[in-house]
Amino acid sequence: MVNMFENAVIREILEKYKRLWAIGHSMALMGWDNETYMPPKGSEERGYAIAEMSTLYQEMLLNESFVQLVEKGKNQENLNDYEKGVVRVLDREISILKKIPPSLVYEMSKTSEEAFHAWKLAREKNDFSIFSPYLEKIIKLNIEKAERLGYENEPYDALLDLFEEGLRTKDIIGIFDNLRSNLRSLLDKVISQKYYYFNSPLEGIKYEREKMEKVNNEVLNLLNFPWDRARLDVSPHPFTQGMGINDVRITTRYEGYDFKRSLFSVIHEFGHATYELQIDENLKMTPIGGGVSLGIHESQSRFWENIIGRSYQFTQVIKPILDKHLDFTKGYSEEDLYRYFAMVKPSLIRTEADELTYNFHILLRFELERLMLKGEVKVNDLPEIWNQYMEDLLGIRPKSYSEGILQDVHWSHGDLGYFPTYTLGNIVAAQVRNSLLKSISLYDLILEKKFNDIKASLRELIHKYGSTYRPKDLLLMKLGESYNQEYLINYLREKYLKI
């Protein structure tokens, strides 16, 4: 391994940081277990354990000797980019946690642990009242967090910055103002042409879970998923949890029908996992040994899910796998399957939304979160506001809480300010595609099943740097510009209108 850290002060920082990393590793493992295998009644004790670990992490990070060491690191001359990255990430984290009292960290951790299990039960029973007291508390805690962190124009700025360093609410408003009109116009044209807008019989065909598991495993083998460093499990809401560079866990869910839901959840999470697994080995157990932001992370999952997974070429490659395990796909042509994968149809569930309508789901959540943080909405009014937004944006209205406000897990985790990173991910994925097309024959590589070549290009473009650079700086350095939604609009026009 190449020693990227030559400065003596930085090396001392990294040595002391290993204990902090170990706590983070333990909490990640507990969080993964919480959503996969932990018995439901274990939530109270687990909530206590995670809350205590969170406050212990804060105490150790803010230990005066460690803070002074990081300050000493900031004053070192001639640091390389990786060493500067270590100092930047730690200085930012110290600055954030200095503003948030341990009591708030503890309360947020404990509440979100309990809220997750309340959300899961509420979703199963289609009863918002089970979750609403927890959501109310989460909103109050996030308002307090935003006030303590400070913000430029509105509370949302403070929380958004936690997930996408340097981004502000006004940036997101500008992006959505542009996307909303362009995507609405594009959606109307696609619906009128009817090639991608239709009802596929495959949506309603039931499948056996065991057979779908074989499909998912074989598709992951096709993509060269490293089973010695990663695994696939089942959870109510698909997710990826990185424990470290050599231990990344992904999940999917099996609903028993509309098989693309489970398949594309796997491909999506594979994208997240690949990012973590391709970070430079030299950054292992350091503050920069993880993805730089949720927006950049989401770009990698959406790249694999949509640009790779929903391409005609990928459909051609995986059809034999589908036919081998799902007998009913044999009666459908490659074009039938492609149209099923790429179909455009306003739907109630975000995770099942097509490429054109997906960002409307994010716009809804962004607007609701801003209302929550401004204190302009009562929790009990949120379901109706949600339903009205869905009707205004996509012309459809939820008939239950489970297909409306209870469909996403994120608020139960205490995360407000998170959702815009999904749209950023779509934007950056299109920018990455544009960049790769200049250097590799992307769609030929898909047909040739040379997925390692695609992964290698992504590693050099994004993955290997971990959190060394700020998100915007990484984009400027590797793509030549920051977030630019025009690439997403052009990609969708090219795909759906052939222009």
146-200: pLDDT as tens digits: 999 999 899 999 999 999 999 999 999 999 999 999 999 999 999 999 999 999 9
Summarised one tens digit per residue, pLDDT across range 354-373 is: 999 999 999 999 999 999 99
Q: How confident is the model at residue 457 (pLDDT cuts 50, 70, 90)?
A: very high
Say if residues 496 and 190 touch (Cβ distance below 8 Å). yes
Identity (one letter) of the amino acid at 425? G
As a whole number, mean pLDDT of residues 260-270 equals 97
Q: 113 catalytic, yes or no? A: no
* Residue 268 labeled ligand binder: yes
Task: Quote the crossing angle between the two packed helices 102-125 and 8-36, to the nearest 10°.
Answer: 30
Terminal-residue alpha carbon distance, the chain: 47
Which of 16-20, 47-51, 318-322 is predicted least confidently? Answer: 47-51
**Residue from 171, 253, 239 nearest 207 by CA:** 253
Give the confidence band of 22 by pLDDT, cuts at 50, 70, 90. very high
Calculate helix-pair angle for 420-437, 169-193, nearest 10 degrees: 70
Predicted local confidence at residue 326, as pLDDT: 97
Return the CATH number of 169-497, one of 1.10.1370.30, 3.30.1780.10, 1.10.10.10, 3.30.365.10. 1.10.1370.30
Cα–chain center distance at 435: 22
And the tokens for 465? 């740097």
In the chain, domain spans: 8-154, 169-497
- Res. 498 pLDDT band, cuts 50 70 90: confident
Please indicate if the annotation marks 281 as binding a ligand: no
Produce one character per residue of 393-420: b if its CB has 16 or more CB atoms within 10 Å, e if not. Answer: bbeeebeebbbbbbbbbbbbbbbbbbbb
Mean of pLDDT values over 398-408: 95
Beta bridge partners of 232: 250
Whole-number Å distance between alpha carbons of 472 and 452: 27
In whole angstroms, what is the distance from residue 3 CA to residue 15 CA? Answer: 14
C-beta separation of 311 from 495 below 8 A: no
Which one of 269, 352, 369, 403 is the catalytic residue?
A: 269
How confident is the model at residue 266, as a pLDDT? 98
pLDDT, the chain, mean: 96
pLDDT of residue 351: 84
Provide, rounded to the nearest whole percent, the portion of the chain with pLDDT above 90: 95
Determine the pLDDT at residue 232: 98
Confidence at 44, pLDDT banded by 50, 70, 90: confident
Q: For residue 280, how many other CB atoms are within 10 A of its CB?
A: 20
Q: What percent of the chain has pLDDT over 70?
A: 99
Q: Which residues pair with 257 in a beta bridge?
A: 206
Residues 6+ apart with CB under 8 A from 317: 222, 446, 447, 449
Closest by CA position to 195, among listed 4, 343, 86: 343
- Residue 332 Cα distances to 12, 142, 216, 277, 329, angstroms: 61, 49, 19, 35, 5
Q: Is the pLDDT of residue 1 over 80?
A: no
pLDDT at 291: 96
d(CA 31, CA 251): 13
Contact yes or no for 279/272 (Cβ under 8 A): no
Q: Give CA–CA dist 353/350, Å, rounded.
A: 5
* Residues paired with 40 in a beta bridge: none
Residue 2 has pLDDT above 80, yes or no: no
Quickly tell me which residue has 């619906």 as its tokens: 191
297 is in an annotated binding site: no
The structure's pTM equals 0.94
